[in-house]
Amino acid sequence: MLAGAGLAAHSYATVLRNKRFLALLCGQATSRLGDAIYRLALAWGITELTGSAAVLGVVLFLSVVPPFVLSLLGGAVGDIASRRQVLLVADLAMAAMTLTVAFLVNVNTLAIVAMGSLAVAYGVADAFAQPALGALVPEVVEASQLTAANALSTMARQVASLAGPGAGAVVLATGGLRTAFAIDSASFMASAILLLFVPSTAPARSAGESVMRKIVAGIHFIVGQRWLWMMIVLLALQNGLNSGPWGAALPLLVKVGMRDGSSALAALYAVAALGALLVTLSIGGFGRKLHRRGIAMWSTVVLSGICLALMGLHPQFELAVVLALFRGMAVGFGTVVSLTMVQQLVPREFLGRVISVAGLATGTTLPIGFAFAGLLADRLGPQGAFAAFGVALIAVGIMGLALRPTRQVG
């Protein structure tokens, strides 16, 4: 771990000297922090307006519909237009939208329709921005620096997720909803300004080729690459199996099998986040030295499954802390390595569409995993849910190791 951290420090210093990537990273980090504040403000604002958890649930549901409906379109647009321009339009549109909501709060005319519209707009912007962002990074850094660049981007998201709720609470307590939404708007403006320092060119486009043809061509490309479609399917399965019990059954597992109640739950979440952060800090140094990445990635999936199964079989707090740490490390490793492999192995002209399809697949299995884990926890108890999902996750990892296209990739 220390050796990896030393290599990572050198790799991070190298990639951070790239002013284009530094501008992109700072813009995204600022925007992510604003997003974290926004999520808290949205939930609190709707609760204050309606006092209804059902209304909040509907708004949150509406916010995730656009990425499902528009993700393929977003990926195709990112492979046709300048990826920087796609991000600029998304940032400026969201800056205007959140500033409008801040104004409505200021004049005491905020309505649930405005809050719901903002949530939907966030989802629409995300559907176009995420494929464009994933495809833009290889344009601004060398292939050998992609692991370090992705690790830094992942760390920025992790830090924003950790710091954002606390910052949002302070903002709401001192400045209210108006200030929270105004800060989110400012974060989008800052991201847009920094994007001006990130040159990007539009990918080559065949004359007369429509967006729909681009989408179909992207799907044909994925289907024609055995390693790629197999990896997307297996990663989608592991996402639902890995996240399902952790999100839906862990609170009940803590309640019935561990001490300290909510404090134990918070500790396990924090330790898992720490594990992911530690491995992300270390992995950046192995961009050119990590061989057999397919074997390494699927082995971490097996490790995650073992951690979940052991938590179900032996729900003791001390053991759970260790297992949560290793699970977090495994998830952090897989996140960085899988994205880097896709960026390095997929041709640039298809990258936005591939990232959008992968995001759609993994995003689809996530709510399914939550639902099944919750149902299984009610039927078999949380121990049974963790054990069953852990065994299934081990099977997915073994499948990734057994199939030659996914084992030998990278």
Pick the closest to residue 209 from 200, 219, 217, 201 (CA basis). Answer: 217
Report the pLDDT value the prediction gives residue 10, as an integer from 0 to 100: 73
Tell me the one-letter amino acid at 19: K
For the residues 87-113, what does the mean pLDDT come to?
86
Range name among 180-194, 220-234, 262-276, 395-409 with the lowest pLDDT average? 262-276
**How far are the Cα atoms of 115, 183, 329, 360, 369 from residue 240, in angstroms, in the given order?**
29, 33, 17, 12, 4
Contact by Cβ (8 Å): 121, 97: yes
Tokens of 328: 């977090």
**Cα-based angle 100, 101, 105 (whole degrees, multiple of 5):** 120
Q: What percent of the chain has pLDDT over 90?
A: 40
Report the pLDDT value the prediction gives residue 209, as an integer from 0 to 100: 66
State pLDDT tens for residues 235-263: 999 999 999 899 888 888 888 877 666 67
Domains of the chain and CATH, by start: 19-195 (1.20.1250.20), 217-407 (1.20.1250.20)
Report the pLDDT value the prediction gives residue 308, as an integer from 0 to 100: 96
Report the pLDDT value the prediction gives residue 6, as an integer from 0 to 100: 60
Query: Of residues 324 and 367, which shows the higher confidence score?
Result: 324
* Residues listed for the chain: 410
Range name among 202-206, 270-274, 353-357 with the lowest pLDDT average? 202-206
Residue 107 above 80 pLDDT? Answer: no
Residue 303 above 90 pLDDT? Answer: yes
Please tell me the distance from the alpha carbon of residue 235 to that of residue 388, in angstroms, as a whole number.
Answer: 18
Query: Of residues 270 and 75, which shows the higher confidence score?
Result: 75
Residue 223 above 60 pLDDT? Answer: yes
For tokens 């981007």, name the residue. 153
Report the pLDDT value the prediction gives residue 1, as an integer from 0 to 100: 47
State pLDDT tens for residues 388-410: 999 999 999 999 999 999 998 86
Contact by Cβ (8 Å): 98, 188: yes
Report the pLDDT value the prediction gives residue 273, as an integer from 0 to 100: 84
Residue 44 burial class via C-beta count within 10 angstroms: exposed 0-12, middle 13-18, buried 19 and up = middle
Render 31-73 in DSSP notation, one character per residue: HHHHHHHHHHHHHHHHHHHH--HHHHHHHHHHHHHHHHHHHHH
Residue 8 — very low, low, confident or very high, per pLDDT cuts 50/70/90? low
State pLDDT tens for residues 61-82: 888 888 888 889 999 998 888 8
Exposure string of 96-135, with b = 16+ CB inside 10 Å and e = fewer, is ebbbbbbbbbeeeebebebbbbbbbbbbbbbbbbbbbbbb
Q: How many CB atoms lie within 10 A of CB 384?
A: 16
Query: Of residues 410 and 365, which shows the higher confidence score?
Result: 365
Pick the closest to residue 120 from 101, 140, 146, 143 (CA basis). Answer: 101
Range name among 14-28, 30-44, 214-228 with the lowest pLDDT average? 30-44
Pick the closest to residue 253 from 271, 270, 241, 265 (CA basis). Answer: 265
**Cα-based angle 59, 55, 175 (whole degrees, multiple of 5):** 75
Query: Of residues 46 and 57, which shows the higher confidence score?
Result: 46
Residue 82 burial class via C-beta count within 10 angstroms: exposed 0-12, middle 13-18, buried 19 and up = middle
Please tell me the distance from the alpha carbon of residue 91 to that of residue 74, in angstroms, as a whole number.
Answer: 15
Report the pLDDT value the prediction gives residue 252, as an integer from 0 to 100: 84
Residue 55 above 90 pLDDT? Answer: no
Tell me the one-letter amino acid at 58: V
Report the pLDDT value the prediction gives residue 91, as an integer from 0 to 100: 94
Please tell me the distance from the alpha carbon of residue 174 to that of residue 357, in angstroms, as a whole number.
Answer: 41
Mean pLDDT (the chain, rounded): 86
